[in-house]
Structure 1
Amino acid sequence: MKFTLDETQNNRLLAAIFQELAVIVFDPQKEVVFANANMTDILGYSQEEIIGLPHRTFCFDHYAVSTDYQAFWNQLLYSKQRFQDKIIRKNKQGEKLILEGIYFPVLDEQQEVVNVVKIAFDITQREQALAVTIKKVQESAASLTRLSANGHQQVDHLSENLAQVKRLSDQNQATTHALEMDSQQVTAVLHDIDRIAQQTKLLSFNASIETARIGEQAAGFRVVADEMQKLAEQTKQLTQTIATTMQAINQQALVVLDSTDSTTMKISDSQKSLAAVLHSYDTLRTTASLLNDEAEYLTETNDAELETT
């Protein structure tokens, strides 16, 4: 069912549009022939001041003399096509306005343009807030990047320190193993010395028996036998002392070895944790970079839209 408006409904509709929206009308010479209160409030003019002003009055000079400006009016007046986009204009005080506007030509019976109507929304505050938000996002991204870089550097330094500690630990572990082997060799030598001492003692005992059998004729031989027995006893005592000391050294070496193994395992675990932290920092830096790219893209897109109008 086709919906039609009678004159009263049409007037009410126009009144509602003029009350809620900012509307301005230009003639084919691009001069203002009408502007409602919403539009004059945005532009900073009174309704008496604004009538007859050329459209370029509301544009900055660099745009008013550009080929884009000429193409904009050619599209409306000659191609008779509407124009809708984000646009930059200036108010009476020369302050920048950012508007979301739509222009459309009004045609007569001969399809000639008799007026150009513009309906606009003032989005200046919204765009300014968006610019502030973009700047904060870029600053946050830069801060995250710096944090990631600093953290990465510190973790790298710590990782290198751990690597050096691990190398020293490995050296200590190798030294401890060598000490343990040396201790085992010394223990074996002590066993040989102890065996020789036992044989010397036995030989001294046999010499004493032989001396007793021979009698006074073997007095000098008895002295030698006694000295051999004393030497055997001293050697045995010294061997026991060294053996006890070597056993203690061997036990301490085993403790150090166990501690070194534990330290090596903890260092290895720490390096794995550091690798995970480094991965997190890399992810953080990548996220910051993507965030910054999105902010720059949004800024460039926004600026490009404004530059074309």
Structure 2
Amino acid sequence: MNFNLDTQQKELFFNSMFKELAVIIFNTNKEVVFSNEKMAAALGYSQEEILHLHHKTFCFDEYIYSENYQNFWDSLLILKKSFQDKIFRKRKNGEQIILESVYFPVLNNQNKVINVIKIAFDITKKEQILSDTIKKVQDSSDALTDISTDGNEKIGILTENLKDVDTLSSNNQSATKILEEDIKKISSILVDINSVAQQTKLLSFNASLEAARVGNKASGFSVVASEMQKLANQTKQLTQDIHENIESINEQTIKVLESSTSTNNKINASKENLESLLVSYKKLLETANSLNDEATVLKDVN
């Protein structure tokens, strides 16, 4: 679609453009010959102050003395090519300003460059927000890494504790089996003691009969006494066996109690680690929400 603008329309068009956009014009000596108020203010000057200033005035030394600076102007003045990019310039007070700029050469009828026009948008605030947001995202990323590392360590400790609990549980089972065997032995010994008691009663009964039969003649009692001595010895030995088994039971019981205490300690330690892990993942959630907020900011800025 072609537009044919008369002089008045062209004037209105350029006036509107100069009002809304930051515009500056340089001659081939790279000096300012025109700047609208928007561009002058962005660079910290009045429109009167900025006139005749050299382009280098708005650049930092590192850029001025670089090969890129000479190439930049050669491209505009010699190759007659336009330039568009994000650039860093220096305000009157020395502060940095970031501009999204378009430079293009103005040619006369002989195809010679007579001026260079620059149209720019001040994106300093946008870039600062972007930079701050990127830093927050990086900090959040570091936080996620720390949380992940901490979480893995706690999970490792928890895993080892659970292994210890499993070992303690196995030890408890072994101790319980030993207790069961000792109890069976005691039961067997009690049966023997009961048998000895029955035999002792029988001997006692027979001794009574013998005493009634022989009267004062007690020669037959030597046999009874001997048998009673044997039974006493057997009872003593059985009692010793019971004592030893009871000691074994006590020892195994102590082991079970110690294992139970250790098991409880391990369980408590695991519980503490789980709680700490939950706190870490709560922080992880908060970090994720923070990242989401930052992503929203980035989206709005762009």
What TM-score results when the alignment is normalised by the length of structure 2?
0.71
Shift of 1:209: 3.3
Q: Are positions 1:43 and 2:43 aligned together?
A: yes
Partner letter of residue 105 of structure 2?
P
1:102 aligned onto 2:102: yes
Aligned residues of 2:151 and 2:277 also touching (Cα < 8 A): no
Question: What residue number does 2:187 align with?
Answer: 187
C-alpha distance in structure 1 between counterparts of 2:147 and 2:215, whole Å? 99
Matches within 5 A, 1:35-184: 35-150=35-150, 152-153=152-153, 156-157=156-157, 160=160, 163-164=163-164, 166-184=166-184
Distance in 2 separating the partners of 1:72 and 1:188: 106
1:281-296 paired onto structure 2 within 5 Å:
none
Alpha carbons 1:43, 1:90 under 8 Å: kept: yes
Structure number with greater CO (CA < 8 Å, separation at least 6) is 1
SS at match of 1:137: helix
Match of 2:6?
6
TM-score computed with the length of structure 1 as normaliser: 0.69
CA distance in 1, matches of 2:161, 2:77: 75
Structure 2 residue ranges without an equivalent (≥5) = none
> Aligned-pair RMSD on alpha carbons?
4.3
User: What SS is found at the alignment partner of 1:217?
Assistant: coil
Matched AA of 1:34:
F
What does residue range 25-44 of structure 1 map to in structure 2 within 5 Å? Answer: 25-44=25-44
The structure-2 alpha-carbon separation of the partners of 1:226 and 1:205, relative to structure 1 and needing over 3 Å to count, comes to farther
Post-superposition shift, 1:91? 1.4
Identity %: 58
Higher mean C-alpha deviation, range 71-80 or range 23-32: 71-80
Which residues in structure 2 correspond to 1:237-276 (within 5 Å)? 267=267, 274=274
What's the CA shift string for 1:95-144, capped at 9, x where partnerless? 21111111112222333222211001111122223223333333343344
Task: Please give the alpha-carbon distance, in whole angstroms, between the structure 1 residues aligned to 2:223 and 2:48.
Answer: 146
Please say which of residues 35-44 and 190-199 is displaced more in the overlay.
190-199
Query: What runs of 5+ residues in structure 1 fail to find an aligned partner?
Result: 299-309
The 2-side partners of 1:216 and 1:62 are apart by 137
Instruction: Choose 172-181 or 67-76, whichever is displaced more.
Output: 172-181
**How many matched pairs?**
271
Q: CA deviation at 1:170?
A: 3.7
1:16 and 2:33 equivalent? no
Identify the range of structure 1 (136-145 vs 56-65) with the bigger mean alpha-carbon deviation: 136-145
Amino acid at match of 2:117: V
Matched, 1:196 2:196: yes
Question: 1:220 & 1:202 partners in 2: Cα distance?
Answer: 16
CA distance in 2, matches of 1:206, 1:124: 121
Question: Aligned equivalents of 1:91 and 1:121: distance in 2?
Answer: 14
The SS at the match of 1:87 is: strand
Q: State how far apart, in whole Å, the 2-side matches of 1:216 and 1:44 are.
A: 143
Query: Take 2:150 and 2:120, find their aligned partners in 1: how far apart are those partners?
Result: 48
Question: Does the 8 Å contact 2:203/2:224 carry over to 1?
Answer: no
Say if 2:27 and 2:33, in contact at 8 Å, map to a contact too.
yes
My pick for the range that moved more, 159-168 or 99-108, is 159-168
CA distance in structure 2 between the aligned counterparts of 1:56 and 1:180, rounded to whole angstroms: 97
Of 6-15 and 103-112, deviating more is 103-112
Determine the C-alpha separation between the residues in 2 that align with 1:222 and 1:213: 15
Task: Answer yes or no: is the 8 Å Cα contact 2:86–2:101 preserved in 1.
Answer: yes
